[in-house]
Structure 1
Amino acid sequence: MAHSNTIDQIAERVDHLLLRHEELQKTNVLLAQQVQTLSNERDQLKSRLAAARARVDALIERLPTTAPTSPEVSS
Structure 2
Amino acid sequence: MSGLPPTFVHVGSWELPRDDSIQIAQKLRRAGSIAALKVWEGMCHSWQLFAPMLEEGMASISEAASFTKIHLKA
Q: TM-score, normalised by structure 1?
A: 0.28
Structure number having the greater helix percentage: 1
Q: TM-score, normalised by structure 2?
A: 0.28
